[in-house]
Structure 1
Amino acid sequence: MVEEHCGGVVRRVLLVDSSGEQVTAACRFLDHLADRGSSPHTICAYAYDLRRLFTYLAAEGVD
């Protein structure tokens, strides 16, 4: 997970895989939340949950 800050406030969150590549669908969803004015805390919480989901799926062998 990569956070972009502006003035100490999270403005954008990117979800990246183990090779550092963006997880496109997740990043588009997080960008959508930012574009509609969601709280930075909400965006970070969704990113954290998505990261946990993708970690679980990888451990289970699901792409």
Structure 2
Amino acid sequence: MTTPPTGPQPEPTPPEAPVRVPEETPPLPPKEAPDNIPVEAPESDPGEVPEPPPSEVPQED
């Protein structure tokens, strides 16, 4: 009675579950990481645009 219950349990359940989870996690982060880096660079440019405008400085003075 100890052979049938221990055979099917550690065979398909443990090996398939941990192998599918780590495979989908690593491929997703590495692909988005390089895309986010270049996207943040252009965002900082427009953010500095409102600072250089001299029309707002003389108006407040």
Give TM-score, length-normalised by structure 1. 0.30
Structure possessing the higher radius of gyration over alpha carbons:
2
Report the structure, 1 or 2, having the larger helix content.
2
Question: With structure 2 as the length reference, what TM-score do the two structures score?
Answer: 0.31
Comparing both structures, which one devotes a greater share of its residues to strand?
Answer: 1
